[in-house]
Structure 1
Amino acid sequence: MEETIPGTDTAQIPQQRGDSLLETAVRYAEERHWDVFPGAWLVTVDGVQRCSCEDPACGAPGAHPTRPDWATQATGSATVARRMWQKQPGASILLPTGRAFDAVSVPETAGFLALARMERMELTLGPVTLTPDRRMHFLVLPGASVKVPELVRRLGWAPSSLDLVALGEGSYVAAPPTRVGSRGAVQWACRPTPANRWLPDAEELISPLAYACGRDR
């Protein structure tokens, strides 16, 4: 049975349940040429899922880096990725931004509104993730984190007035099918396909994204 996201075309949601984290991490590196690195994982204690970091107040249980030098762990090699997940098969799949892509993060409601608007505008999209904490990440060409604030200003918005954040060098996103504690798994709102291998520039998407975030305030 396929996982579905309300309000999306179920044909765009890939089957993730049959794929292990190891197989998926290797596929991201091999097929998409994305750098990947293993993050924390979930452990079950007295029937309750907790983060491997053992912090009871962990804000992203099972879905964050496990060491301060996480950026040096990231690899685009499928062979190295396989070796890393073989050591800890339950490790989350984290993707560093600022390398193969940046990500524009918006609230889920704004993201779905923007997706509908982009479809009407016939814009070419890259992959888009949907997280259990109700945010969507639109993958775009690297460099977005630098230019997005100015692009937003040109549209007449103060960047601080919109819940729109561009993630670049030094940041990361969790990739499907990573689970975030009991909240659920990260999913694809728009899955990676051969058709969206070439990512859009943030400038192409910023207008509908900013508009949607403005409506969502």
Structure 2
Amino acid sequence: MGFTIGGIREMRSGARRRHRGAAGTAVAEYTGLWGWAVTPGARAEAGSCSCGEPACPAPGAHPLDFAREVPAGTGLDRASDAWAETPGAAMLLPVGRAFDVLEVAEQVGRRALVRMERMGLPSGPVAVTPTGRAQFLVAPGAAAELPALLYRMGWDDAGLDLRAYGPGTHITAPPSDL
């Protein structure tokens, strides 16, 4: 399963559709089709962050303080109108509500997907970042349970290149700088 930006179609006239940007349609797909909230975020611009903070710890990957979130379930018209309030913002998905994220190196993620397919296990959406990481969107609460699971399996000191993201974090959504 993957992301299909622009998959939402509407039965209205083309005149109304021309006023919507691709970003508004993508936001509507995340909120309406996938049922996820979308948060306007800062953009990465030439190695710095659009928030203006010179020492920004997460350039282009954090919510804008002044922007309001577009809630899950928002339709195309309302999502487009809401996104027009923050033109050019990056699309961020809040983690910990509809999903948590387990992140590994891309090669490890590809091997895991092949193994899961061979075992007949379903997978949720998976994103690959330009920095060579694979992000598996998993059930909410999985990030909090991961340390105990790794301990029970004896992998707690294995030095795994595994990151877990839960409530209070965000991931960038395509299309985006990151």
TM-score (norm 1): 0.64
Deviation at 1:118, TM superposition (A): 1.2
Deviation at 1:169, TM superposition (A): 0.8
Find the counterpart in structure 1 of residue 17 from structure 2. none
Alpha-carbon distance between aligned partners in 2 of 1:127 and 1:75, rounded to the nearest angstrom:
20
Letter in 1 for 2:25: E
Find the counterpart in structure 2 of residue 21 from structure 1. 23
Deviations 1:87-114 (A, max 9, x none): 2231111111110111111111211121
Confirm or deny that 1:38 pairs with 2:29. Answer: no
Find the counterpart in structure 1 of residue 113 from structure 2. 115
More helix by share: 1
Contact 1:37-1:81 within 8 A present in 2 as well: no
Find the counterpart in structure 1 of residue 71 from structure 2. 75
Alignment equivalent of 1:131, drawn from 129, 132, 139: 129
Find the counterpart in structure 1 of residue 13 from structure 2. none
Deviations 1:155-185 (A, max 9, x none): 22015721212211111111111113xxxxx
How many residues get paired? 162
Please give the residue correspondences for 1:1-217 in structure 2 after superposition, counting only pairs within 5 Å: 14=4, 20-41=22-43, 51-55=49-53, 58=56, 60-67=58-65, 73=69, 75-79=71-75, 80-158=78-156, 161-180=159-178
Deviation at 1:85, TM superposition (A): 1.3
Alpha-carbon distance between aligned partners in 1 of 2:101 and 2:55, rounded to the nearest angstrom:
26
Structure 2 unaligned blocks of 5 or more: 7-20
Partner SS for 2:42: coil
Find the counterpart in structure 2 of residue 184 from structure 1. none
Structure 1's 83 and 123: CA in aligned 2 closer, same or farther, altered over 3 A?
same
Structure 1's 12 and 30: CA in aligned 2 closer, same or farther, altered over 3 A?
closer
Deviations 1:37-96 (A, max 9, x none): 1101356xxxx57532234565654332222x87x7352142553333112231111111
Letter in 1 for 2:74: A
Find the counterpart in structure 1 of residue 15 from structure 2. none
Deviation at 1:15, TM superposition (A): 6.1
Contact 1:62-1:179 within 8 A present in 2 as well: yes
Contact 2:70-2:82 within 8 A present in 1 as well: no
Contact 2:39-2:70 within 8 A present in 1 as well: yes
Letter in 2 for 1:147: E
Structure 1 unaligned blocks of 5 or more: 1-10, 181-217
Alpha-carbon distance between aligned partners in 2 of 1:97 and 1:160, rounded to the nearest angstrom:
26
